[in-house]
Structure formats: C-alpha cells, structure tokens
Structure 1
Amino acid sequence: MPIAQILLFGFAITNEINNVNIAILDHSKDTSTLEIINKISNSKYFSIKQIISREAEIESVFQKGKIKAVLNFEKDFGRNLIKKKSAQIQIITDATDPNTANSITNYINAILQNYLQEKNKSIQLDYQIIPQTRMVYNQELKSVFLFVPGVMTIILMLVSAMMTSISITREKELGTMEILLVSPLKPFQVIIGKVVPYIFLSIINAAVIVLLSIFIFKMPVEGSLILLGAESVLFIITSLALGILISTISDTQQSAMMISLMGLMLPVILLSGFIFPISSMPAPLQVISNIIPAKWFIIIIKGIMLKGVGLAFVWKETLILIGMTVFFIAVSVKKYKIRLD
C-alpha cells in the first residue's frame, strides 16, 4: 500500500497540464495564425484535435467533453498585426474544471508572449496580440462547480461499496451462510437480494446531496433532472455491484472494509479526474483510469448539471457503466461459493 500510494501521488498529483485537447477556429487563415497554431501544436502542453469553421460549432464541441479550449482568431488577424500592430485572439475554455481552465489560459498566453518576443526582435514598434478570455459554463470560476460533482461521486461510490462489501462476509462470520447455502435460492438471487435494499438507501443519499447542492451551494442543473436521477441510480447500482464483488472474494468484514475503503478511495480521488486532469497523467495511469467507474460518472454529472446535455452526449459513458455493472454482477455470481470450505 505505501508503494502504491507514493506512485499514485507522485504521478497523478500535478498542477501542470499536458496534451490538453483544443480546437481551432481560424477566421483569417494567414501566415501569422498558421505560425501560432504550429507553435501551440508543437508544444507538449496542447494537442489540436479539431478544426472548426463556425462559431455555432463551439457549443457542441464543448458538450462532447473532449475539447477543453477553443482558440478563435479574428478575421484579418495577420493584416491587423502588421498594419495596426495589434490583433485579437479569443481563448474560450471549458470552466467546469476552473483550475484547468485557468492553467490553459495561462499556458496559451505564455506561448503567445513567446511568439511576440520572436517577432519583435527585428522591428522597432512592437506587435501586440490581445487575448480575450471567455470561460464557458462557469464564468465566475466557482470552485464549488468542481467539487460538488466530485464529492457526490465519492460519497455514492464509497458508501455504496462499503455497505454491500460487508454483506456476504458478515453472513460468513456470523455462521448464517449455511442457511443461505441450503436454501433453494440461486446465487444470483442471493446477490440481487443483497443489493436491492441498499439501492433505496443510496438513492436517498443521492437526493439529499443534489438538494444540498442546488439550494445551499447554488449548483445549477442545466439539464434534465430525470436524466440526472436515472444516471445517479445507474452509478449507485454499479457501486453496489462492485461492493458485492468485494464481498464475495473477502473472507472477513475487516478485509472487505479495507479493500472497499483504501482500495477504492485513492483511485476514485486521484484517477477519476475529480481534482487532477487525467490528460496530464502518465499514459499507464490514463489507461488505468478507464476502469474507474467514478471517472465516467463525473463526466456524466458535469455534462448534465453544468452543460445541460442530454443522453445523446453521454450515451457512451452510460453504456460503459452498464457494462461494468453487468461484469461486476457476473463475476460475483461466479465467485459466490455454494459450499463452505
């Protein structure tokens, strides 16, 4: 555990950004904009994933969740830079993660300043590029917009998993497992029966968290409350199924609690994108993050609450959670012992 902790904290916790996906909207398409685009693309900090042609596309680009910033070059950018000695560029960032949005803006400004320094070496009157910053979905950069979805995910994940992780192991320790084994109930019926009561308890938890977020922290819900509720129930079932899996492979309540608490807490906090951007992590950790259910739920909840997206934009993440739930339940049924050792 200490080795795992130092590796996770050492590689996952970083204030730097790397390989952030951005899009370009170039109204000018001249030599100057091409030079700036190439300079940004050649840096290790940004990866240009999309070229868009109209401002109307910006909203849909952000709603898909892959692009974190859009650079919007004004018309006649190069001509204005040469004739007027001044040109404008708009930096539009996805501020659902305000820390990352600030970092992206600062990094792009630094690259622009470096470009200007190189240009201004050979002229008497300095060129100027005036950046205009626009933060979408969170113009005031409120940190609560970042923490509420993350805390909601952590609470639902850990509480749900811990509640169910001790359910079957408790039967083993109390000696009541024999009654279940000699009963006509099939393994999947026992497992479903263990999950269902906790679903209702977790739904109450989720409802309380959402109500507190809306009325106390003024968290907006731009999308459908029905879809938000349905996705929350799906994530709850996924977490409970994971808890049942832990319960079936653990022999004691203590070991089940340790696995569900220590084994889930660090990955959920560090590898879900809750606090630290996944794109800035080493490639192995980015791959591992894909098996963390919390990562996909955070994408879903931010999309619904802050961006107002519908199922059409989060269907992929929804299918991944459904697949994980089916996998956890299937493995739990397979691991469920019909005989005591």
Structure 2
Amino acid sequence: MKQFISFVRKEFYHVLRDRRTLLILFGMPIAQILLFGFALTNEVKDSEILVVDYAKDNASQQILTHIGASRYFKISKAALTQKEIMSTFQAGKIKAVVVIPVNFNEDLLHSNKAQIQLIADATDINTANMIINYLSAIILEYQNQINENLEIPYQIIPETRFLYNPQLKGAPGFVPGVMALVLMLVSVMMTAISIVREKETGTMEILLVSPFKPVLVIFAKAFPYLILSLINVTAILLLSVFVLDLPVKGSVPLLFAESTLFIITCLALGIFISIKTDSQQFAMLISLMGMLLPTMMFSGFLFPIENMPLPLQIISNMVPSKWYYIIVKSIMIKGLGFSSLWKETLILLGMTLFLLAISLKNFKIRLQ
C-alpha cells in the first residue's frame, strides 16, 4: 500500500509541476463550459412524437393526417393518461406529445374555436422549439384550409407546454454534453500521454522491474487523473449552478457516482491506447481525433442521433459518452433516479470491464 501511495504521490507532483498539463485539466473545462453554455446553438430535422387522440373524430383525424404527411416527424399513437405521458417523457422515448381533447370537432362546429395541447421535452431547447414551431405551422395550415369557404372562420389554438426547461434556457442542453466531452478528452488523453511518456523517457523499464506489481504501476499512474477529473466535475457543476443558473434536480451523490464510473471507463480506454502506442504525439492524436469527433457526433450532444442513418445509430451505441450524456441529462434536468438509469449504467460498466480486460490482456511487463 505504501508503494502504491508513493507512485500516486509521484504522479501528482508531475501533474502539479507541469503548467501545460494544468491548463488542459482545468483551463479547457472552464473555457468550454462557458463558451458552450452561452454561445452554441444547433438545429434538428425531425423527432419522435406521440399522439394522444381523445376525440377520435373527423377533425382530429384530418390533423393527424397532416402531421403524418410531414417528413419532420415519426408518429406513434396511444391512449395514455397524463401520468403515463410523463413517464414516457422521463424514459426519453419521445420528444413531444400532441394531445387532442374530447369533443374537438364539436367545439369547432359550435363555438368556432378548439384547443390542441403540444407538450415538448425542453431538455434540448433547440429540438423543442423546432418541434413546436413545425407542429404549430401544420395546425395553422389545416386551419387555413378549412376556413377557405367559411364566413366565420374556425380557430384552433395550440396550448404549448415545455417540460423540464420552461424558461427555454440554452444551458440545460449543453452542460451535460460538455461534461461528457471534457471528461472523455481529459481522462483518455492525459492517461495515455502519461504512460507513454514513461516509455519515451525510459523510466517505464525502471518501474516495471521494481518490487511493485507492473499492473498496479499502470493503475497508480491513472489514479490521479480520476481525482482530478472528479474535481473537474465539481467545477462544472458549480459553474452550472452559480453562473448558468442550472441547478441539479436529481441526486448529486448519484451524479458523482455515475461520473466516477464514466471516468474509470475513459481511464481504461486511455490505458489501452497507451499500451498500443509508443509516442506521446501518436497517443495525443488518437486521443483527440479518436475521442473528440465520436463524442461530438455520436453522443447526441450536438446532433440528434435519431436523425442519423441506421448504421450510424448502431455505431453511436459503442460510444461511452452517449450513455453518460443520457445519464447526466436525466439526473440534472429531469431529476430521475437510479431506477430509470440502470440500463445505461450497466452498459457503461460493461464497457469498463471490457476495456480493462483487453488492456490487461495486451499489457506486457517487458517493453521489448
């Protein structure tokens, strides 16, 4: 145990004395959380929506036909209660719900006015706004169509409701993504470079022939980056709460536990990269290009995964940051507990064990 602590202390000393390393560890997360939180926007093309038709009359069927004819939506129909609708939103299966009330057609005929409720998941504000705008435009088009030959026009009023983010702030959509991006890059890159640096300087040979077990040498070099990444998580959450006014609605201990699991997944990936590379430049290239693009493209952070072709959707399932992004968004924004996130947690745990297994299998106690 004393030897393990000695190696951990040595790695901490190296990190704290290197200004460039400190800049990457702490400067990049703070800069990204501020820039992404205030400046970045995006757009979507289509989304999965649910239609709850309580009326089941001629007018409601015509509106549903118009919505179904749009290329922007994938529609599923169900007769759900309000409680069941909320459970469906919490499960993350849909982006919006169109609720057509009872006697919709009769209200139009007798009072020339009827309402339709539009409910959107505003954890992704851009997606929610686009969905509401598209649905409102379709309803308005139907309204204009039926009013062509009427002296007293019908009026259909969409009642809009945004769940989880009623103020329509941009930060809830980006803070979870920035957390996934920062932790993935920092944990993978710093771990890979740290171990490869020992190879380049020749000190890895000394460490491997020491009384300390070689596998524990690798874990000891990765351990400081676990602690430093958790400090990054703390800094991001503090910025979210006090700067971006984005409180954590769910369990903070659960969020830290899930973050720890994700960090360990990234550290295992960094260890595997370090085992397969022999230069810091190559390790950095793989870490940056191999992790940055998949995290930004396939995590759902910047681009909705449901808009991608099926092969790319399948590939996205192999990106750890996708599952962590779902977990963070569910805890921070929706306030969900472990019972709703056990599947994503199990997937991350499986990825971690797999990466550790192949890393240990490929690890050689002799460098040559």
Show the counterpart of 1:321. 348
Show the counterpart of 2:12. none
Show the counterpart of 1:248. 275
Tell me: CA distance 1:16–1:216, structure 2 relative to 1, closer, same or farther (3 Å): closer
Q: Say whether residues 1:209 and 2:236 are aligned partners.
A: yes
Show the counterpart of 2:295. 268
What is the distance in 1 between the residues matched to 2:79 and 2:264? 39
What is the distance in 2 between the residues matched to 1:16 and 1:306? 20
Deviations 1:38-65 (A, max 9, x none): 3323432212245142112222111111
Q: Say whether residues 1:193 and 2:193 are aligned partners.
A: no
Correspondent of 1:61 among 88, 112, 123: 88
What is the distance in 1 between the residues matched to 2:191 and 2:203? 16
Deviations 1:106-160 (A, max 9, x none): 1111222333344334544433221111111111110111122222221111111
Show the counterpart of 1:147. 174
Q: Say whether residues 1:171 and 2:201 are aligned partners.
A: no
Q: Say whether residues 1:83 and 2:85 are aligned partners.
A: no
What TM-score do you get using the length of structure 2 for normalisation?
0.83
Equivalent residues, number: 328
Q: Say whether residues 1:226 and 2:247 are aligned partners.
A: no
Tell me: CA distance 1:217–1:171, structure 2 relative to 1, closer, same or farther (3 Å): same
Alignment partner of 1:92: what SS? strand
Aligned-residue identity in percent? 54
Amino acid at match of 1:77: F
Correspondent of 1:309 among 336, 342, 361: 336
What is the distance in 1 between the residues matched to 2:44 and 2:334? 25
What is the distance in 2 between the residues matched to 1:184 and 1:324? 31
Check conservation: 2:42, 2:126, Cα contact below 8 A: no
Matches within 5 A, 1:15-26: 15-18=43-46, 20-26=47-53
Show the counterpart of 2:58. 31
Amino acid at match of 2:43: N
Alignment partner of 1:166: what SS? helix
What TM-score do you get using the length of structure 1 for normalisation?
0.89
Alignment partner of 1:56: what SS? helix
- Which structure 1 residue ranges, 4+ long, deviate > 6 Å from structure 2? none
Correspondent of 1:135 among 156, 162, 165: 162
What is the distance in 2 between the residues matched to 1:123 and 1:212? 56
Q: CA deviation at 1:255?
A: 0.5
Tell me: CA distance 1:65–1:331, structure 2 relative to 1, closer, same or farther (3 Å): same
Show the counterpart of 1:96. 123
What is the distance in 2 between the residues matched to 1:74 and 1:227? 39
Q: CA deviation at 1:293?
A: 1.3
Amino acid at match of 2:338: L
What is the distance in 1 between the residues matched to 2:211 and 2:146? 81
What is the distance in 2 between the residues matched to 1:288 and 1:220? 32
Correspondent of 2:100 among 62, 67, 73: 73
Check conservation: 1:63, 1:309, Cα contact below 8 A: yes
Q: CA deviation at 1:30?
A: 1.7
Q: CA deviation at 1:79?
A: 1.3
Tell me: CA distance 1:301–1:16, structure 2 relative to 1, closer, same or farther (3 Å): closer
Show the counterpart of 2:266. 239
Q: Say whether residues 1:299 and 2:344 are aligned partners.
A: no
Q: CA deviation at 1:170?
A: 1.4
What is the distance in 1 between the residues matched to 2:215 and 2:271? 11
Amino acid at match of 2:242: F
More displaced stretch, 60-69 vs 106-115: 106-115
Check conservation: 2:197, 2:280, Cα contact below 8 A: yes
